[in-house]
A and B are shown apart, each in its own frame.
Chain A
Amino acid sequence: MLDDLLAPKYIGWLIDGFLVTLALSALASAAATVLGLMLCLARLAPTRWLAWPALAWLSVFRNTPLLVQLFFWYFGLAALMPQGLLEWLNTPHYWHLVFFDVSWPPFEYVAGFVGLTLFTSAFIAEEFRAGVRGVPTTQTAAARALGLRPLQIWRHVVIPQAFRIALPPLLGQYMNAVKNSSLTMAIGLAELSYASRQVETETFKTFQAFGIATLLYIGTVALIELAGQWVQRRNPTLGAAR
């Protein structure tokens, strides 16, 4: 059984794919968190000039399948771009920074990152909003009665409690980002699912190829879960509000 696990070359392919999955979902989650926070603030803004565009953004990205969005960014948008720009995006570029070289990734990576970030940001924004909405209005009223200014109310009363409510679903969205990153295989991005499919094609060891990929996904999601519990335990103000 162990003999026919997988040749080292193919394990290497799976590891390469796994690293791409990790990098893609980490970068997309980080960018989506920043973007999601801004979207949430825009959505809650008293002026409709901010709230309505934010609402439109949320409905577009939450109500269409991620696969279609990825096709749009990779195939659709590329067809509209001027030829020169696309060629530039597709050819490798290198910049020498002080300590290390930076290289421009192929267009699959750019499209995959943009697609996954925008999709995830819409869900994260709503998790944040749910957190803010979850703080009872009596809290704000009480803070105002104590004479706190609006900014102080946000800083000391609303945000700490909102964050505590939003943290578990936020982590859930990070887990979704890891799983959703597998859809980028459809636009040729060589992440874990793509690599496992490729290994399967060459070796016909279907169970091993997809089995290892499954374990790696489960492991990653479990790590996020553990990290979340660890953060909550270390930081009681974030409380274990579960």
Chain B
Amino acid sequence: MIKKIHLAAMVALAALAGVAQADRLDDIKNSGVLRVAAFDSNPPFGFVDAQTKQISGLDVDYAKELAAKLGVKLELVPTNPANRIPLLASNKVDVVLANFTITDERAKQVNFSIPYFASGQQFIAKKGVLKSPEQLGELRIGVDKGTTNEIVLREKHPSATLVAYDDTPFAFTALRNGNVQAITQDGPKLVGLLANVPDKENYEIPPFSISDDLIGAGLPKDEVRLTEYVNDFLRELEASGKAQTIYDRWFGPETKTPLTRIYRIGDK
């Protein structure tokens, strides 16, 4: 009971705080422009398209949909990873859609929406070798030296034999040669790697991940209404199937970098 009162008090306080500050959601609607920070050199999330010379990508598609729902014009602001929080804090942008991994540390400085993408630690193996995470403990697995992938895999599957290589191409050569039976990295990196392999039909990325980095939209700190608005927008996008359409445009089976969609908006 006391907990409930606490919660109610906190919600009321948060609402008050929201009211007390100028509300960004109204500002956006009044100005008629949504300013979104996006990557310009991180395909397929945000990059300059060689033909149109415009910034495009998965994150940009979300930005376009959000602007359409708000009924305002979209203004894209190119960013690099380091500038994402400063851009929000200095009121240069309203939303960051730039492969922004949700962490507790960052959540102290910005608001995050619910996740709309997950970049998980996945595996490449020869076709038919690896079907489920339970098999990992019996395999020899190539990892990149000094990555969190190595640490996570050892924690979750201590009986697996890990062989660490200097970088992903070396690990992949070891997989080709049969020195290891699988290699691990972040899913989007693995599809990028596989896209350039001449005999890629012999390999697959089994549709499971052993850890997830959740990607969310970054919003100004304490903008409760805007955050709720973006959350509702993301849920609607999943319900209408548009989220799947956007995903398929960049990671679908027809693309150069096919990756099975494991994470859906609303999953935890």
> Are B178 and A83 in touch, CB under 8 angstroms?
yes
Give per-residue flags for A184-215: 1 if the beta carbon is below 8 A from chain B beta carbons, else 0: 00101010001001101110000000000000
Binding stretch for chain B, among A71-79, A115-123, A140-148? A71-79
With beta carbons under 8 angstroms apart, the residue of B142, B164, B179 that contacts A78 is B179
The answer on a CB contact under 8 Å between B151 and A90 is no
- Chain B residues bordering chain A, tally (CB within 8 A): 19
Q: Is the CB of A201 within 8 A of B176?
A: no
Within 8 A of A (CB), among B151-186: 151, 161, 163-166, 170, 173-174, 176-179
Do A90 and B178 have beta carbons less than 8 Å apart? yes
Contact flag A106-B140 (CB < 8 Å), given A188-B174, A198-B164: yes
| Contact call A86/B163, Cβ cutoff below 8 A | no
Give bound CA distance, A186 to B174, whole Å. Answer: 12
Give bound CA distance, A75 to B176, whole Å: 9
- Output the least CB separation between A212 and chain B (Å): 18
Asked if B178 and A197 make an inter-chain contact with CB atoms under 8 angstroms apart, the answer reads no
Could you say which residues of chain B place their CB within 8 Å of the CB of A107?
A: 179
Interface of A, helix, strand, loop or mixed by DSSP = helix
User: A79 is contacted by which of B145, B147, B164, B176 (Cβ under 8 Å)?
Assistant: B176
Closest to A198 in B: B164
Q: What is the chain B residue whose CB lies nearest that of A71?
A: B170
- Interface residues of A, CB < 8 Å — how many? 20
Q: Tell me what chain B mostly uses at the interface: helix, strand, loop, or mixed.
A: mixed
Return chain A residues, CB-CB under 8 Å to B178.
78, 83, 86-87, 90
Q: Is the CB of B145 within 8 A of A202?
A: no
Q: Which of A82-124 contact B (CB under 8 A)?
A: 83, 86-87, 90, 106-108
Q: How far is the CA of A151 from the CA of B143 in the complex (A)?
A: 56
Q: Contact between B179 and A186 (Cβ–Cβ < 8 Å)? A: no
B81 contacts across to A, CB distance below 8 A: none
In the bound complex, residues from chain B placing their C-beta under 8 Å from that of A87 are 178
The answer to whether the Cβ of B146 comes within 8 Å of any Cβ in the partner chain is: yes
Residues of A within 8 A of B213 (CB): none
Asked if B142 contacts A201 (CB within 8 A), the reply is no
Answer yes or no: B212 CB below 8 A from chain A CBs.
Answer: no
Chain B residues whose CB sits within 8 angstroms of the CB of A197 once the complex forms: 145-146, 164
Contacting pair A188 B142 (CB below 8 A): yes
Q: Which residues on B sit within 8 Å (CB–CB) of A108?
A: 163, 179
Chain A, residue nearest B155 (CB): A202
Beta-carbon contacts of B5-18 to A below 8 Å, as 1s and 0s? 00000000000000
Residues from chain A with a CB closer than 8 A to the CB of B163 are 106, 108, 188, 190
Per-residue CB proximity of A50-94 to B under 8 Å, as 1/0? Answer: 000000000000000000000000110011000100110010000
Q: How far is the CA of A90 from the CA of B174 in the complex (A)?
A: 11
- A200, B151: Cα distance in complex, Å: 11
Hey, which chain B residues are within 8 Å of A74, CB to CB? 179
- Chain B residues near A194: list those with CB within 8 A: 164
Nearest chain A residue, comparing its CB with the CB of B148: A201
A188 touches B164 (CB 8 A): yes
- List residues of B whose CB falls within 8 A of some A CB: 140, 142, 145-147, 150-151, 161, 163-166, 170, 173-174, 176-179
